[in-house]
Structure 1
């Protein structure tokens, strides 16, 4: 999923080691090593998205917001590789989770949604990239749409698991309640925006300045570090709304797909 940063974002080279509050340091050398990941669980999130949990005993850890490279190898030796954001918070369980949309015609997502079952093995390499990572050390305003919420959920889960007191807010956009990934997990830190259908009494419409205003108004001293993830269209729209509302351009990190 990860791509180079765009509007208002300046990439930096990740350090060789990362420190996460309450978590072991992550070695940069892990990014070059393929490991076997065994599928242990599949959880349905929406009609078109599911979470896949893997056992990776030698996983070195990751920062919330990082991604990995996944490789499938067919019996005839054909391989397919894809980047996927990590949905799980960093922990010492030896497990990681990915949440994948079922993309029409997608050979990797199609295999996961139509063929994969617990016990299957794939290869993973990572974690990768430090640009979109959130170590839990700064106030974070998270904006995601569709499966763009995946790396942001890793941040939310990390925030909860470690009992961090640094402010964190999540605004997530979906077409309707049935397409809201991780709907069962959201708490008071989350504001949903529905663009096509919504529960009775909830307005319908695209992400707008009015949705951001109350979140920006409660910015802590020093302001927010904003993380935006979603399709090209959503990333452009959300980042422009943030800039227009006064969010410093150099404090907007963007990850996009599509």
Structure 2
């Protein structure tokens, strides 16, 4: 545990855009101990004059020991750190990393069905869970309900489509809140009772549920799930907000 809470120097090996405002950084991290899907890291940037800024980011990659570690960062308006990571950081550059952190909002390859509910960039730790299931060739029934503003804002679109095709038992539903793809029936709308009732698992399946996104989204989704009859003890939530 002490080693996990020590700062390590991470080097950017590769970087690529997921959407016009979200970028994935693939990091080489010496002596990375591995992680559980759903965990996060603390990241610290230090300027030449000694000024430093620290933020927490969810890990997008699966649980491979030794890395690489992937972080998918959504640029936030006026975000000091997120803007630097998306618009300035390049391969070969370094920063400090501490982790992995967190032991509650994690998936441990249990046989239970899983329902993942994501809002915006809240998909990142849930993508780590989906990738981990793929790595172990899991057969647990998985459903992802992903609320996103427009098709252009959807993270990991091509990979999710491939995994739905190639990973048996994985279903994905996109709920578009501002603009839906051409030809999709119904107008854009916020995630609600009908969407979660139709595209989630029924309560009698007793699924493990992971909800991640902005605070308001997470609270609303969790309340809907409880109202639909899901056991609150089976619902794990992760919220983000504040400085970026």
Query: Structure 2 length as normaliser, TM-score?
Result: 0.90
Counterpart check, 1:245 vs 2:218: no
SS in 2 for 1:186: helix
> Which residue does the alignment assign to 2:213?
230
Note closer, same or farther for the CA distance 1:251–1:114 as it changes in structure 2 (3 Å cut). same
Moved more, 172-181 or 100-109: 100-109
- Measured after TM superposition, the shift of residue 93 of structure 1 is 5.0
Structure 1 CA distance for aligned equivalents of residues 69 and 204 of structure 2: 32
- C-alpha separation in 2, matches of 1:209 and 1:153: 23
> In 1, Cα distance between the equivalents of 2:180 and 2:103?
36
Instruction: Tell me what 2:176 maps to.
Output: 194
Structure 1 stretches of 5 or more lacking a match?
Answer: 1-27
Gaps spanning 5+ residues in structure 2: where?
Answer: 165-170
Q: How many residues align?
A: 230
What is the aligned-residue RMSD (CA, Å)? 1.5
CA contact (8 A) 2:203 2:228 kept: no
1:139 Cα deviation after fit? 2.4
For 1:1-258, list aligned pairs within 5 A: 28-137=1-110, 138-187=112-161, 188=164, 189-202=171-184, 203=186, 204-217=188-201, 221=205, 223-258=206-241
Post-superposition Cα deviations, 1:16-42, rounded to whole Å, max 9, x if no partner, equal xxxxxxxxxxxx333311111000111
